Amino acid sequence: MPTDDTDGSSTAPTDAQRACFEAGIKFGSLYHQFAGTPISLETADSLARAMEEAIENQPHCTDVSVDVRTGVLEAALEEGAAEYTELTGRFLEVEIDVAYEGVEVVSRMAMEDGYPLMALESVSR
C-alpha cells in the first residue's frame, strides 16, 4: 500500500515495515480478543495454549509463546471474592514471531510501570 512522502511522492512500505506491521496486528488481535476472558489457576495453561494456537493461524506468524504469570494470578485470586478473575496483560508474558518476505520479526509483551507494552525485540533478514 503506497504512502505519501513529504514531497508528495508515493513509496511502498519496505518488507521490514510490513513484517513489523504484521507483528502489531497479531498483538492487537491477541490482546483485545482475549482480554476479559475468565481465568483461574486451573484454566491458565489451556487458555495460554488456545491463545497461541489462535494467533498462529494468522498469516506470516511463525511462532507464538504465551506464558501466564501464575504468581501474579495467584495473588490476584487471593485478593478477590471468586475462584477466577478476568484476564489482563499483567498476567501474561507473550512473544510473537513473524516472517514476511525473508524478514523475521520478534516482538514481546511485558509489563512496564503497571501497563502491558508490546515492543519489537529484533528485525532481521
pLDDT in tens, 75-107: 999 999 999 999 999 999 999 999 999 999 999
Q: What is the mean pLDDT of residues 8-20?
A: 90
pLDDT of residue 5: 59
User: Hey, how many other C-beta atoms are within 10 angstroms of the C-beta on 113?
Assistant: 5
Q: Which residues contact 64 (CB under 8 A, 6 or more apart)?
A: 26, 30, 51, 52, 55, 56, 94, 95, 96, 97
**AA letter at 63:** D
Three-state SS at 59: coil
Q: Which residues contact 56 (CB under 8 A, 6 or more apart)?
A: 63, 64
pLDDT score of 1 more than 60? no
pTM summary value = 0.87
d(CA 31, CA 124): 25
pLDDT score of 6 more than 80? no
